[in-house]
Amino acid sequence: MKGILFGVGVGPGDPELLTLKAVRIIKESDIIAVPGKDLNTCMAYNIVKQFLSDIGNKKIITVDMPMTKEKEKLEESHKNGAELIRSYLEEGLKVAFLTLGDPTIYSTYIYIHKRILAEGFTAEIINGIPSFCAVAARLQEGLVENSEQLHIIPGSYSISDAITLKGTKVLMKTGKKFGEVKEQIKALGLHAAMVENCGMEQEKVYSTLDEIPEEAGYYSLIIVK
C-alpha cells in the first residue's frame, strides 16, 4: 500500500494561526518534511514546534529548496525532493511537508506536489492562512470592499504594469527590490503599508510608505492602495 503526501500550510508566523486540520495531519503523519538544509532555521518547522513541542519525536527530513531563479537548479532540487519523499511513500508512510502560509500561493512545495501526483501517488493540500490576510488584520485594514479588485503580485519581478492595476495590490517576496518598488509606488501617489515577520517575535509594522526601509527581510509583505 502506497503512502500519502500532505502539503501542510502552517500559516504566516503566529503558531495560534495553525488550523485544526493542519495540527491533526501533522500528528497523524509518520514523516515530517521541511524545506531547507538546516532544521533550526526552518521557519515553518519552528512555528509548528511552538505549538506541538513533541514534533521532534517524529522522523524529520530536510528538503533542500534553494532561493534562486535559475531554472536548472530549481528543476534539480524539485526532482531530488520528490525522489526523497517518494522513497517514504513507497513504504506506505504518511508524509507532511510543512510550508509557510498556504501551499497554493507562491510555495515551492507545489512543484513537488505535482511531481508526486504525476508519478501515481496520492497527495493532498492542507490550506493555511495566507500571509496577506494576516498582514491586513495586523494593519487593522480590509483588503478589499464592495467591487474592489485584489491583485497578488511577486515583487521580486517587474511590477511596472501590475502596480497600476485598479484595486488593492499585495506585493509578496519583494526581496532586494524594496528601493525600486518604493520609488514606483511613490511616483504613482499610492498609499502603502508593510509588515515584516508578521506574527513572529521580530515583527515590525510600517504604516506609511515613508516608514518602509530601503531594505527589509524576506518575510515582508507590502499592501498598496
Q: What is the pLDDT along the chain (225 residues), one digit of tens a residue?
A: 789 999 999 999 999 999 999 999 999 999 999 999 888 889 999 999 999 999 999 999 999 887 777 788 888 989 999 999 999 999 999 999 999 999 999 999 999 999 999 999 999 999 999 999 999 999 999 999 999 999 999 887 888 899 999 999 999 987 677 788 888 999 999 999 999 999 999 999 999 999 988 888 888 999 999
Q: Which residues have CB under 8 Å from 82's CB, separation 6+?
A: 112, 115, 116, 119
Domain boundary among 68, 99, 126: 126
What beta strand segments (E) does 115-219 contain?
122-126, 150-154, 168-172, 192-196, 204-206
104 in the same domain as 35: yes
Structural domain boundaries enclosing 63: 4-126
Give pTM, 2 decimals.
Answer: 0.93
119 in the same domain as 11: yes
Element (H, E) at 186: helix 178-187
94 in the same domain as 161: no
146 in the same domain as 64: no
Residue in this structure with the C-alpha cell 524539485, named with its chain if needed:
78
149 in the same domain as 96: no
Residue type, 47: I
Domain boundary among 98, 126, 154: 126
